[in-house]
Amino acid sequence: MLRVTLLGTGAAGGVPLYGCECAACQRAREHTAFERKPCSAMVEWGKGSARERLLIDAGLMDLHERFPAGTYYGFLLTHFHVDHVQGLFHLRWGNPSPIPVWCPDDEQGCADLLKHSGCLRFLPEMNHGDVVNINGLRVTPLHLKHSRPTVGYLLEYGPKSIVYLTDTDGLPAQTLDFLASLTQLDALILDCSFPPEHEGSNHGNVEVARQVYEKLQPKELIITHIGHELDCWLMDNDIPDWMEIGREGMEI
């Protein structure tokens, strides 16, 4: 069994966006099912009582309540922007066994997180295309196009494969070529923050997501890191048949 559960699907400001009265933000205030929290996910693999768990990114501020010590193995960080690591700042001062945190090599980190890591054990040895075996889960980091060193993750267990690529404006050629060489890609979870034609933000839009889909042809493509502008666009337009809209709690 290989499963990814989306814990958060929002862009940095989330939905509803503070102070915004657009249709999407008003809907999210009235119906919590449409809220979008910091972009993050949970990976589970294995069988029965031997099932393992990793968390992808740590933007949720209640991680210590959702996931008590010992209920997961560690973290896969995509990058060190605050909306992807803020939940680690107080969690680090706990006293569980050291928690491994695989991450890109970015010596700036975020504030003093690397300098004062507490119970977190940062492992910045994530080289593009090099497989890391984590208790039977094959994890391959892949370079992404963002304003800080950022990686996505190809996750493979048995015959199944899911790739998680957030905070990227399309894909670098080396990542696109790597994924195109795979014989099977069961699911692609991809950054799509904006409506078509939006440019210049270090994040993808619907047209860029379509181009990636056509190149890679995954069995399913799920968008994440969604901003309120895109939610507004989705309220007024038909959802393309090649795309699924990520939601909190969605299981892939």
Pair 112, 122: CB distance under 8 Å = no
pTM (two decimals): 0.96
What is the DSSP-derived secondary structure letter of residue 238? P
Beta-bridged to residue 40, according to DSSP, are 8
Break the chain into its structural domains and give their ranges: 2-244
Over its length of 252 residues, how does the chain's per-residue pLDDT go in tens digits? 999 999 999 999 999 999 999 999 999 999 999 999 999 999 999 987 778 999 999 999 999 999 999 999 999 999 999 999 999 999 999 999 999 999 999 999 999 999 999 999 999 988 999 999 999 999 999 999 999 999 999 999 999 999 999 999 999 999 999 999 998 899 999 999 999 988 778 899 999 999 999 999 999 999 999 999 999 999 999 999 999 999 999 999
Task: Tell me whether the omega of the peptide bond preceding residue 96 falls within 30 degrees of 0, making it cis.
Answer: no
How far is the C-alpha of 222 from the C-alpha of 251, rounded, in Å?
Answer: 11
How far is the C-alpha of 178 from the C-alpha of 50, rounded, in Å?
Answer: 31
Beta-bridged to residue 134, according to DSSP, are 137
Fold classified for 2-244: Metallo-beta-lactamase; Chain A (3.60.15)
What is the DSSP-derived secondary structure letter of residue 50? G
How far is the C-alpha of 231 from the C-alpha of 221, rounded, in Å?
Answer: 17
How far is the C-alpha of 108 from the C-alpha of 11, rounded, in Å?
Answer: 22
